[in-house]
Each structure stands twice: as C-alpha cells, then as structure tokens.
Amino acid sequence: MEASSWPSKAKVDEIRKTVAELSARSADEVKIVISPYRICPLGAHIDHQGGTVTAMTIDKGILLAFVPSGDSQVLLRSGQFKGEVRFSVDQILLPRNEIIESAQKSNVELDEECKWGTYARGAVYALQRRGNKLTQGIIGFICGSEGLDSSGLSSSAAVGVAYLLAFERANNLAVPHIENIEYDRLIENEYLGLKNGILDQSAILLSSYGCLTCMNCKTKEHKLIRLPKYQFHDNGTQKAYKILLASSGLKQALTSNSGYNSRVAECRESARLLLHASGNEVMEHVLSNVEPESYELHKCKLDPTLAKRAEHYFSEEVRVKKGLEAWASGKLEEFGKLISASGLSSIQKYECGCEPLIQLYEIILRAPGVYGCRFSGAGFRGCCIAFVDAARAEQAASFVRTEYRKAQPELIGQISPEKAVIICDAGDCARVI
C-alpha cells in the first residue's frame, strides 16, 4: 500500500486561500491541522473499562487551516455550518452543562453558532484546566470529509484534537501526544459530559501509516504493529486490503443518546459486584481491575444484563489478543473473522445497535471479498466498517449499496449514492503542516 494521498494539494491550497483572505495575511503564513478519523477493528466498548483496544486512522478526516489572531480573539468559520464562532481565549470557560443550565434559567436559546463552536471552546477549557496560559487566539476555517460526520468514525474527537493542536501551535506550547490524549478526554468527559474512554483521541494522535495501533487504556501504554509487507493469496497474487465505510443514514450525537452512558454505568456496576465478591472492592470499579479467574468464579452472581456486559468485555479482550497475533502474521482472513465476532458480541452482549445498523452489518458480511465487519463508534447510529480484499472492494461496495437500499430505502435515500459506501485506505496520525 502506498502512503495516503489525503489531503490533496488542491484542498490544502483552497483552505489556505480561504484563511488568508479571512485574516488579510499571506497564504504562506497559514498552518493546517490534519486530524484523521479513526476506526477500531477490535476492542469495542472496552476502552472506558481500561481494556486493550486496537485502532487505526483512515485517509479521511478534519482539516483546520489557521493563523494566530495577534490577540486573544478567536474567529472561526466552517465548511459544514453557517455563521461564525467568536470568543476570547482569556475568558474563563465553564463546562457545557453549566452553560446550558445558565441559558435555561435565563430563558436564553443557544444558537447554532454556539453549538458548532463547542469543541473549540472545549479545547480552550481543557488547556486552561491544566494551567496553560493562552494569549493568542486563532483565525481559522474548519472542514471535514463530506458525508462522514456523525458516522461513528470519531469525527468529534478529530475536531477536538484539531483545535488543541491549533491553539497549542498559536501559543508556542509544546505538548506531547500522550498529554493531548488527556486534554481531549477533558473536552469529552468534563466539558461535554460524555463518559467515553481514550480510544478515539489515542488512535488519532498515536497511529502511524500501515500499522495497527494497540492501546492499553489502563496503563496508557501503546505499540504499533505493522502488517507484514508481503502476503499472498493461494493463487500467488499479493494480498492488499481496503477499508469499507457503509453509512446507515442514522445520525444522532452521543451526547443526546442516553444509551452510551447507561452502558458505561452497567459495566462499572458489574465491575463493582465482581470486585466486591473477590474482596477487592476498594479498587476502581472498572472491569480491567477484575482478574479473568475472578470473573469466571463470580460471574454467576451478576444479573442477566450485567452478566452480558461483563461477558462482552472479557471475550473482547481475548479477541483483541488473537487479533494482534493475526495482524502481525498477515492473516487477514483470521483478523476479519474476529472483527465480525466482535460485531456480533456488540449486538448480543453489549446490546448496542438498532435494526438498520444490524441489517447493514449482516449485508456486509455477505458481500464478496469482505474479511470482517462491525459497527463503527458506539453503535447507536452511524456506519459499519469492514476490511475487504482490495481486488474486490468495488464489487463489495456495489453489493452493499444495492442490498441496503432494498432493506432501508428511506434511510439510504437521505445519503448521496457516492457517500453511501466509501472505499478508504489507512491513514496517519494528526499533525500540523
């Protein structure tokens, strides 16, 4: 596989020109943050429990062109949303829920400008929260790969990372990637109130082209595992893979869906009961603190719902381990089967998904050349991702478009045909150019 060609030179030149005109500065002064979307082949729904996960980025994502504003003011425009976002980096920002509560008490309606600027404010909040003094705002233009917002590819984390990198560069802050993982967690957990783990931002910041990123969400340790360069089919042709993204047409932000946070709470409750049964109740109530042997001994004490959540966690840990071995050996078929098993466990044990997503998952599994498939993201809306034989990717994409249109004509009708199923390559980490 060749290195990713995203973003194109034409797109980079276009957004540089946009910011140059907006700021009355030279295009040469404009910096661009490239913040890719991520997929999680294995390690579904266990990052918030300190589990081990796998991830990689794709050649699609967020682009943020910017220049330092010369003062504390921030001015942002978007390729997807109307209006401008304006605020000052020397303001003391409050968490989003406090802003909403204050607006409700005052009978003030938050406009769309405030909503799409949330992650920019969240980035400033996170930097302030950790004692960074910001004096420079930015003048910027942000845009994402078309048709992939709310798709379960962590577009929100990509946006948060993009703003962090831009504000840090404008203020000459040298922040290690590991620290930015924590900063983006502050945006999601504290500023927005979403109880997710660190998988998304870790993948976006730590990935490397051609590698599978393995992240231990408990210890924060990570490693990059490269697919062997030369692997062959039985007929002697060289193996290569593509990544298929198939949209369900469902769009809903996680912050407006209680299903995600309730699943996290259920996992923590199962951990609490298992730790109590094993005499370790003082430990943090996450499933990574429960030894597999202790789980097997005491799982009978969990009610049916909590038992399912715990079973998903421990079986997914096993799939991750086997998947890493398969990837390192170049066994794409075996790797794919584990991905599909992860998808099935997400449906049956973690109980996420809905009829359209499950239909899409089942359709993709029947498509020619597909190694494996699962939901992308939290599984309450968005898309499915699949690894597919590169030689059969177009054929697989055509099959999925046709069959999903039969199953969900109304939902697929909301998506432009060229965006319903997209063929991607692996990407690289977030960076400033």
CB neighbour burial string for 35-67, b if at least 16 within 10 angstroms, e if fewer: bbbbbbbbbbbbbbbbbbbbbbbbbbbbbbbbb
C-alpha torsion 314→317→322→324, nearest 10: 180
Give the total residue count for the chain: 433
Is there a catalytic annotation at residue 111? no
Helix axes 177-186, 118-129, angle to 10 degrees: 120
CB 392 within 8 A of CB 368: yes
Query: Would you call 374 helix, strand, or coil by DSSP?
Result: strand
Residue partners of 184: CB distance under 8 A and separation at least 6 = 126, 157, 160, 161, 164, 200, 201, 205
34, 135, 185, 212 from 166: Cα distances, Å: 10, 13, 17, 26
Nearest to 188 by CA among 374, 73, 48: 48
* Annotated catalytic residue, options 200, 389, 425, 428: 200
Largest CA distance in the chain: 70
Per-residue tokens: 5: 């060609």
Q: Round to whole Å and give the CA distance between 415 and 366.
A: 22
DSSP secondary structure string for all residues of 160-190 = HHHHHHHHHHHTT----HHHHHHHHHHIIII
Residue partners of 345: CB distance under 8 A and separation at least 6 = 44, 311, 312, 315, 316, 319
Query: Would you call 135 helix, strand, or coil by DSSP?
Result: coil
Nearest to 168 by CA among 178, 176, 157: 176
Helix axes 304-328, 332-348, angle to 10 degrees: 170
Catalytic residue list: 200
